[in-house]
Amino acid sequence: MQKTLLLSAAACAALAVQAAAKPNIIVILADDLGYGDVSAQGSATIHTPNFDRLANGGVRFTQGYATSATSTPSRYALFTGMYPWKNKDAAILPGDAPLLIKESEFTLPRMLQKAGYTTAAIGKWHLGMGTADKNWNEEIKPGAREIGFDYSNLIAATNDRTPTVYVENGRVVGLDPADPLLVSYTANFPGEPTGMSHPQLLKMHPAKNQGHNHSIRNGISRIGYQKGGKSAMWTDEDMADYFTELAKEFISGQAGKPFFLYFGLHQPHVPRTPHARFVGASGMGPRGDAIVEADWSVGEIINHLEANGLLENTLVIFSSDNGPVLNDGYEDDAVEKLGDHKPAGDLRGGKYSLYEAGTRVPFFVYWKGKIKPAVSDALVTQLDIMGSVASLVGQPLPVGLDTRDYLKVFTGKSKKGREAIILEAQGRVALRSGDWVYIPAYKGAERNITQNELGNLPKGGLFNLRKDRSQLDNRIEKEPARAARMQQLFKEMIKGYAAQRSEVPVSAD
Ligand SMILES: [Ca+2]
């Protein structure tokens, strides 16, 4: 009996140690923030003191990658630990899409629930919710809860897509049952004004030939149609305050229990609508001002952790879902007022691109007192956040996932990053391996309507990123033996999935 009691005491002590060893985990994911949009990455044209605090106080990765050059697939990989090009549905989703991640899939938040964490998703989602025929006026499920988030308050897709409402734990916030919300991505509701029919109602105009001219909310026309739900409509300029406050409330509510917070910043994605107190802050118009606002938001969260004595027990990972874009749907002076600022730094391409700026993004891992400030040129990817966090909290992973454990690299204890990763951009894939990137030959336009270069190279691309960071020297025909080796490795890595949903045909090789 006494022995049992002793064992129990020992077990309790072990559990207490284990609990104390479990840090809170926060993943902050910006939306379309470029490598060069952070002052700590060398930009003198924007001032982001709070991003810099994480960058300079933690490990700043110079070769940190999103998994994809667009939002939905990038986020899919973060939460599932799977390459998004293996799932044909992991493409940019409309605002009424059903939940992309299956309830049966192993996810980062569910894994952390098993480890004893309370989990929350706040901000931008863009992974679909509910079923395809959902009623927005009832409980929308399956959603974030069904894949492992105890609490969620989200925008369903992006801030430029309908419905322009917040969804908290599967319910539209502030909905009046007498004014039901209807959403469609196929046809307008009769009599409802759109950006096309009522341009006089707009305060921000859609860019020519870039859509964004459907239903109007807050003087901004969106992608997609909606009707009703007037009492639930968000006001874009208040969104940063809304989500930042929710994040702080969630943190305050955990009272010493370990938590995981996914905080999806909506900036600097279009429409760029910073609160009035940030207007003019950057001198670059709405895009720059939205970045300054996002920086403020991050500062609020870090300061809140500090004020609550949690900063030294919280691992903070900061990154962006994909690279930057300027003209992405609205006439907001992003190009005209850019000045000398380089959103992608010295990288080539941007959002949508297989060139580096599509997926190489700001990537900082911060843990006060636990991680020594450093700059690391190890190859890391958001795909490996799940595997590394699993290692940190001692949770097993099922076999067959693409995510791997790089905890030592993320925490700065090792500089031996991944040997190779597959990068994705709108269905096209490329191989980053060692210092090199191999881009197979893709047909298709050199640039899309945003003017971002897509990385479609008729003969393919081979670049030494150590010597040629800006990808100006294509070695594909100059080094055929290396190209062949890279192509072989590429084929092995994508075996069974090659171009299964490629929007641009892969040339015969
Ligand atoms: Ca994005």
> Per-residue DSSP letters for 385-433?
HHHHHHHHHT----TT-S----HHHHTTS-----SEEEEEETTEEEEEE
CA distance 239 to 245: 10
Query: Distance from first CA to last CA of the chain, Å, rounded?
Result: 73
Distance 489 CA to ligand 1 centre (A): 29
Residues with CB under 5 A from ligand 1 (ion): 31-32, 71, 321-322
Distance 92 CA to ligand 1 centre (A): 9
What's the pLDDT score for residue 354?
98
Nearest to 471 by CA among 455, 489, 488, 490: 455
Give the mean model confidence (pLDDT) for residues 335-354: 98
pLDDT band for position 509 (cuts 50, 70, 90):
very low
8 Å CB contact between 146 and 257: no
Scanning the structure block, which residue is given the tokens 């509910």? Answer: 130
CA distance 274 to 293: 6
Distance 184 CA to ligand 1 centre (A): 22
Distance 297 CA to ligand 1 centre (A): 18
Distance 328 CA to ligand 1 centre (A): 11
What's the pLDDT score for residue 497?
81
Distance 224 CA to ligand 1 centre (A): 18
pLDDT above 50: residue 505: no
**Is the dihedral angle over the CA atoms 87, 149, 389, 435 positive or is it negative?**
positive
Distance 423 CA to ligand 1 centre (A): 15
Distance 266 CA to ligand 1 centre (A): 8
Distance 36 CA to ligand 1 centre (A): 15
pLDDT above 50: residue 2: no
With a pLDDT cut of 90, the percent of the chain lying above it is 92
Residue-wise pLDDT for 356-404, tens only, equals 999 999 999 999 999 999 999 999 999 999 999 999 999 999 999 999 9
pLDDT band for position 19 (cuts 50, 70, 90):
very low
Scanning the structure block, which residue is given the tokens 């297989």? Answer: 354
Contacts of 192 (CB under 8 A, 6+ apart): 215, 225, 226, 227
Residue-wise pLDDT for 217-259, tens only, equals 999 999 999 999 999 999 999 999 999 999 999 999 998 899 9
Residue-wise pLDDT for 143-156, tens only, equals 999 999 999 999 99
**Tokens standing for 222?**
């969106």
Residue-wise pLDDT for 410-458, tens only, equals 999 999 999 999 999 999 999 999 999 999 999 999 999 999 999 999 9
What's the pLDDT score for residue 255?
86
pLDDT above 60: residue 344: yes
Distance 267 CA to ligand 1 centre (A): 9
Could you tell me which residue, 185 or 209, shows the higher pLDDT? 185
How far apart, in Å, are the Cα atoms of 79 and each of 309, 380, 402?
28, 16, 12
Distance 265 CA to ligand 1 centre (A): 10
Residue-wise pLDDT for 36-80, tens only, equals 999 999 899 999 999 999 999 999 999 999 999 999 999 999 999
Domains within the chain, CATH numbers bracketed: 182-227 (no CATH), 420-493 (3.30.1120.10)
pLDDT band for position 498 (cuts 50, 70, 90):
low
